[in-house]
Amino acid sequence: MYKVDLRFTNACPVLCRHCAYDSRPAGKTMENREMESVIENLSPATTIIMLTGGEPFYRKGSLMHALEHLAELRKDGFFHTDPKIHIQTSGYWIKNEKQAYDEVKNLANIGVNKIMVTSDDIYHRERGIEYGNLLGNNKPISDIAVRLYDEGWRGFDVYGVPVDNKKHPFGRAKSLSRKAIRKSSSCMPHGMFADESGDKYVTIDPYGRVHLCLWEIPPSIGSALETPVDDLIASALNDPVMVTLVTEGLGETAKKLGVFDKKLTEKYEENPCSMCESTFSNANFGPGRNK
């Protein structure tokens, strides 16, 4: 079973300093036909589809097209289990309760199960997005969630996502001070695909490329524009480098690629995210982010 982050756009008007994807107003967005191809190539065993970016609401037409196509496939029984549809947003588009209520109810009508508002950090506040104005007692989004519940929308939720102010050193976050960068991390693909139990996470970027890591730093395992995600994962797990990454972690992967730096042994173990980009770049291995 799979949980999919479908990052269909890298466009965003907010330009937060901590953005790991370097999202910006002119960022790439999937064309509608590309979106349809990617969605049709998802695994029928998908349990959660997170529509994210960039900022999904900044490309509202694309967001709605994705939701409409997902609704058609769910109705036709494409998925073995009825996947939950989530949207992750900064909430920048919320102006007042009436406007937000109309927007959110429309999304609930088309099959969205959850809206996740990720704006509780200093970086969003710098850009004028005040989390306290969106969620909490007597705030627009919280009031909307209560109203929808009272109207019978039992399967719908709106909530704020706790955001750690320590960031991974990717995208614009590379320019943050050393104090703002995480000093420890765990490798997302490591262990997740080592056996058949539990849900697996995959991320699909705006170009349709599939990644085993949320941050899209290890090489893409192929394109969901052309190939079913199940087939891409099966193929990746026959690749010696990717098998090493998911079963033994980044340090052993760096050794396999011939780029292991003994002086940084502890970093491979304690903070593999900080070493991942340089490991695959130095090895010139496969199409990673923006390649």
Tell me what the mean pLDDT of segment 118-139 comes to: 68
Q: Identify the pLDDT of residue 255.
A: 94
pLDDT greater than 90 at residue 83: yes
Residue range 240-251, pLDDT digits in tens: 999 999 999 999
Query: Bigger pLDDT: 203 or 130?
Result: 203
pLDDT greater than 80 at residue 126: yes
Tell me what the mean pLDDT of segment 162-166 comes to: 65
Burial class from Cβ neighbours inside 10 Å (0-12, 13-18, 19+) for residue 211 reads buried
- Burial readout 93-132 (b: 16 or more C-beta within 10 A, e: otherwise): bbeebeebbebbbebbeebbbbbbbbbbbebbeeeebebe
pLDDT above 70 coverage of the chain, percent: 86
**DSSP helix/strand/coil, 269:** helix
Does residue 278 sit within a domain?
A: yes
Tell me what the mean pLDDT of segment 8-13 comes to: 97
Does residue 44 sit within a domain?
A: yes
Tell me what the mean pLDDT of segment 83-91 comes to: 92
Query: Bigger pLDDT: 181 or 156?
Result: 181
Lowest mean pLDDT among 52-61, 101-110, 216-225: 101-110
Phi, psi of 90 (to 5 degrees): -80, -15
Lowest mean pLDDT among 99-113, 167-181, 242-256, 271-285: 271-285
Task: Return the amino acid letter for 281.
Answer: S
> Which residues, 6 or more positions from 218, have their beta carbon under 8 angstroms from its beta carbon?
189, 211, 212, 242, 245, 276, 280, 288
Other CB atoms closer than 10 Å to residue 210's CB: what's the count? 24
Residues making up the chain, counted from first to last: 291
Q: Identify the pLDDT of residue 155.
A: 63
> Which residues, 6 or more positions from 193, have their beta carbon under 8 angstroms from its beta carbon?
200, 212, 233, 236, 237, 246
Q: What is the mean pLDDT of the chain?
A: 86
Q: Identify the pLDDT of residue 211.
A: 94
Task: Return the amino acid letter for 275.
Answer: M
pLDDT greater than 90 at residue 153: no
pLDDT above 90 coverage of the chain, percent: 51
Tell me what the mean pLDDT of segment 264-273 comes to: 90
Q: What is the pTM of this model?
A: 0.90
Q: Parallel, antiparallel, or unpaired for β 157-160 and 114-117?
A: parallel
pLDDT greater than 70 at residue 142: no
Residue range 22-47, pLDDT digits in tens: 999 999 999 999 999 999 999 999 99
Q: Identify the pLDDT of residue 13.
A: 95
Does residue 124 sit within a domain?
A: yes
Domain range for residue 88? Answer: 2-283
Tell me what the mean pLDDT of segment 54-63 comes to: 97
Does residue 228 sit within a domain?
A: yes
- pLDDT band with cut points at 50, 70 and 90 for residue 196: low
DSSP code at position 132:
G
Q: Identify the pLDDT of residue 291.
A: 41
Lowest mean pLDDT among 33-37, 89-93, 118-122: 118-122
Does residue 291 sit within a domain?
A: no
Does residue 289 sit within a domain?
A: no
Does residue 290 sit within a domain?
A: no
Q: 179 is written with which tokens?
A: 């104090």
pLDDT greater than 90 at residue 101: no
What's 227's domain CATH number? 3.20.20
Other CB atoms closer than 10 Å to residue 237's CB: what's the count? 15
Does residue 164 sit within a domain?
A: yes
Total structural domains within the chain? 1
E strand or H helix at 219:
none
Query: Bigger pLDDT: 116 or 55?
Result: 55
- Of 55-59, 103-107, 164-168, which has the strongest mean pLDDT? 55-59
The answer to whether the CB of 28 falls within 8 A of the CB of 34 is no
